[in-house]
Amino acid sequence: MSVRVRIAPSPTGSLHVGNARSALFNWLFARHHGGTFILRLDDTDVERSEEHHVVQIQESFRWLGLDWDEGVGVGGPHGTYRQSDRLDRYAEVVDGFLARGIAYRDFRSPDELDELRRAAQAAGGPPRVPSGASGDPVADLARAEAGESFTVRFAVPAEGAVEFDDVVRGPMRFDLANEDDFVLVRSSGMPTYHLASTVDDVDYEITHVARGEDLLASTPKHILITRAMGAEPPTYAHMPLLFGPDGKKLSKRHGDTSVRAFMDAGYLPEAMFNFMCLLGWSYGEDREVFSKEEAVAAFDLDAVGKNTAVFDTTKLDWLNGEYIRALDGTDFVDRVRPMLGDLDPEQERRFEAIASLVQERTKKLPEAADQVGFLFVADDAIEFDEASWRKQMTKDFSRPALEGGLAVLGDLEPWTTEAIDGALRGNLETQGLNARKGLQPLRVALTGSAVSPPLFESMEVLGKDATVARLERALSMVEDPAGD
Ligand code: GLU
């Protein structure tokens, strides 16, 4: 049997990391077993489904490196892979159920149903609403045709249980006495998620349904529908939900958790991929950094743990830094360059000369772009970060540091990192300043900020004239301290 798995997002918003993690695990499982990964759209919520979300969902998957073999955008033997194009098929299944008495039209109002539920609870029995089947489908059809509002419900057997072995959670059992006759078709005529999703899973011959644990309670319904269609249920794997580092379910309070937000923040897709693999699965051997190929070779659904997975962006930042450092130097330059705008040849030279030093120190690419910005600005146009200026340029050591630096750099030959290093360190001793007091003002003068690539190398790359011009300009702007 060849593995067929799917991810079925609803195009009602951005793709969130929870859904992306489900997609990733399905993808890894399919690739590990040489199976088929399918992208289907659960778009029966016509009012909220929008085409730009469809586009953005596909972009997010592509960015993460999750390619799909069948489905939206790539086609396959099952039509458009959009539920909104399959309404006739769902109606056909429901008509079959109605004809066999497996489903019925329910004309009761929501108020009536609430009343019945309360009564069932008050009686101390299972909170199940009694069946609303009239036992007279012909009369029901006449009422429907006369325009009365109704839903179609699945007639859940009064007794027995649905049992299945969940790959992640082990043996599961749901007593049917607790299950309501659930809705298959809403009063609007639209199919519910339970109906559409299950019919698709059957028709697309899905072998494994791996999805978030929040859908566990839906599974007995899906199994009942599947069996009623004369099919064998797929294997289910309900994966742990994502939590924030504060122990609360991942939600808006944890910031924007759309894949798009991580894309826009400049994370490397490889790092995001690696990070998301760790949300419920572990590579083993205590390894946290591994390639896509290694993950495919090692992954299996039965190794997914039951414990909640913590979505910790500190870890993502760390991993991203690891991936940035592991990039080939030209690859790093190529990824940062688009963030820098147009560079003239001299600016390009400066950037390439300093790139490897920045690469060692950045956790995110946009940070790297920020850090090299000083290389592209005219010497008299450096803008000073306010906090850095206050901390380094308004103190009693500020002026002596700049003057001392200028004194030893003005005639320095040759203009190399090593020579600059020697000259400035020698001066620290002469002036009796430590590196923090003696060099930080120079860094601010040169780059505008107290955080920058290494100082001596930056001076070498800028050249003597630019270095001296920047130190002189800053010196002319330093005001004597009011006392500290
Ligand atoms: N559209 C559903 C969701 O995104 C699909 C759930 C499922 O995998 O069955 O939650």
Are 340 and 369 in contact by the 8 Å Cβ rule? The answer is yes
* Residue 103 phi, psi (nearest 5): -135, 160
- CA Rg, the chain, in Å? 32
What tokens appear for 89 in the block? 């098929």
The architecture of the domain spanning 252-325 is Orthogonal Bundle (1.10)
| Tens of pLDDT, residues 144-175 | 999 999 999 999 999 999 999 999 999 999 99
User: pLDDT tens, position by position, for the chain (484 residues)?
Assistant: 799 999 999 999 999 999 999 999 999 999 999 999 999 999 999 899 999 999 999 999 999 999 999 999 999 999 999 999 999 999 999 999 999 999 999 999 999 999 999 998 898 877 789 999 999 999 999 999 999 999 999 999 999 999 999 999 999 999 999 999 999 999 999 999 999 999 999 999 999 999 999 999 999 999 999 999 999 999 999 999 999 999 999 998 999 999 999 999 999 999 999 999 999 999 988 899 999 999 999 999 999 999 889 999 999 999 999 999 999 999 999 999 999 999 999 999 999 999 999 999 999 999 999 999 999 999 999 999 999 999 999 999 999 999 999 999 999 999 999 999 999 999 999 999 999 999 999 999 999 999 999 999 999 999 999 999 999 999 999 987 765 4
Choose the residue to mutate in 4, 6, 7, 10 for probing ligand 1, maximizing ligand atoms within 8 Å of C-beta: 10
**Whose C-alpha lies nearest to ligand 1, atom 6?**
8
- Work out which ligand 1 atom sits closest to the CA atom of 222: 9
Q: Tell me the Ramachandran region of residue 34: left when phi exceeds 0, alpha when psi lies from -120 to 50, beta otherwise.
A: left
pTM of the full structure: 0.90
146-161 as b/e: b if 16+ CB within 10 A: eeeebbbbbbbeeeee
CATH number of 86-239: 3.40.50.620
Distance in angstroms (rounded) separating the CA atoms of residues 230 and 222: 13
Q: Where along the chain do its domains lie?
A: 86-239, 252-325, 329-376, 386-477
Choose the residue to mutate in 197, 199, 259 for probing ligand 1, maximizing ligand atoms within 8 Å of C-beta: 197
- Work out which ligand 1 atom sits closest to the CA atom of 201: 9
Q: Which of 221, 249, 252, 437 is catalytic?
A: 252
CATH number of 386-477: 1.10.10.350
Choose the residue to mutate in 42, 200, 213 for probing ligand 1, maximizing ligand atoms within 8 Å of C-beta: 42
Distance in angstroms (rounded) separating the CA atoms of residues 47 and 12: 9
CA of 425 to the centre of ligand 1 (A): 63
What tokens appear for 111 in the block? 């108020």
Q: Which residues line ligand 1 (CB under 6 A)?
A: 8-10, 19, 42, 197, 211, 215
| Tens of pLDDT, residues 349-383 | 999 999 999 999 999 999 999 999 999 999 999 99
Contacts of 418 (CB under 8 A, 6+ apart): none
363 belongs to the catalytic site: no
